[in-house]
Amino acid sequence: MTTTGQGTDAVRVLRGLEDSRSPVRLRAALAAGTAPDPRFVDKLVERCAIEPEFFVRDMLTWALVRHPVSLTLPGLLRETRSERAQARSQALHTLSKIGDRRAWPAITRALLCDADDEVARSAWRAAVVLVPEGEESALAGVLASRLGRGGPRTRLSLSRALVALGEVIVPALRAAATAPDPLVRVHALATQRLLRDPDAGFESVIEEAKRVVALAGAPGTDEGNRADR
């Protein structure tokens, strides 16, 4: 049974989450996670979809993680199908933090290949956390099909997701390393290097992979000679 004081506190938190001032929203999200209440869940999920400030979004996710999965999972799964990119991205991010594998069916190929880089990156991170045993090879194949995509930040995210799957990614990377697109080949070779040496810097392994690809296609090399025939 909710006391009058608790009810007042809950109303204050819910109002704070909608305040125009980001510090107020941040404190409200902190309060929602510090003293979880089922009444907060829908508002927290709703706010994730539209919150413009990164630190507030991060606190919203923390607050959701503090609530029972039985309360948060339905709303988050619904948000993964939202037309709003931020709603999809933040829901996927939160699901990766919760880590409940019942969310795995929501990690669709469409999300893994989403046109929005932030959504795709969140989907990749969630996928490697939630993938069931025995599904890793199939996931590696889908992720490898994204090699060469986007800017450095996106490519690094994809490489990290692939490396997190472990040795199961080797066949997919080997195939991608012979792709017609040189960007794909470079990214595949760089990811192979990261698998062998996770502490290597991404920029350095990309530059190394670029040199390998350039030399392989140069006249006078075996690869170049085969291409000339």
Does any domain span residue 33?
A: no
User: What pLDDT was estimated at residue 4?
Assistant: 46
- Binned at pLDDT 50, 70 and 90, residue 218 comes out as low
**Number of compact structural domains in the chain:** 1
Does any domain span residue 109?
A: no
C-alpha atoms less than 13 angstroms from C-alpha of 68 in its C-beta half-sphere: 5
133 phi and psi angles, rounded to 5 deg: -60, 130
Closest Cα to residue 24, out of 9, 36, 10, 14?
14
- Binned at pLDDT 50, 70 and 90, residue 216 comes out as confident
Residue position matching structure tokens 């339905």: 74
Distances (CA, A) of 75 to 67, 79, 89, 92: 12, 6, 14, 11
CA 196 vs. chain centroid, Å, equals 22
Which helix (H) or strand (E) segment is 159 a member of?
A: helix 152-165
Does any domain span residue 166?
A: yes
Q: What is the mean pLDDT of residues 147-157?
A: 95
Give the pLDDT confidence of 75-116 residue by residue, as tens digits.
999 999 999 999 999 999 999 999 999 999 999 999 999 999
Q: Enter the DSSP assignment of 219.
A: T
pLDDT over 60 (residue 149): yes
Does any domain span residue 207?
A: yes
Whole-number Å distance between alpha carbons of 203 and 116: 23
Does any domain span residue 192?
A: yes
- On average, the pLDDT of the chain sits at 92
User: What pLDDT was estimated at residue 85?
Assistant: 98
Whole-number Å distance between alpha carbons of 100 and 128: 12
Which residues span the domain enclosing 174?
142-229
- Binned at pLDDT 50, 70 and 90, residue 6 comes out as low
pLDDT > 90 fraction of the chain, expressed in percent and rounded: 88
178-191 in b/e form (b: 16+ CB < 10 A) is: ebeeeebbbbbbbb
Does any domain span residue 152?
A: yes
Whole-number Å distance between alpha carbons of 13 and 91: 21
Give the pLDDT confidence of 7-65 residue by residue, as tens digits.
779 999 999 999 999 999 999 999 999 999 999 999 999 999 999 999 999 999 999 99
pLDDT > 70 fraction of the chain, expressed in percent and rounded: 92
Does any domain span residue 7?
A: no
Does any domain span residue 175?
A: yes
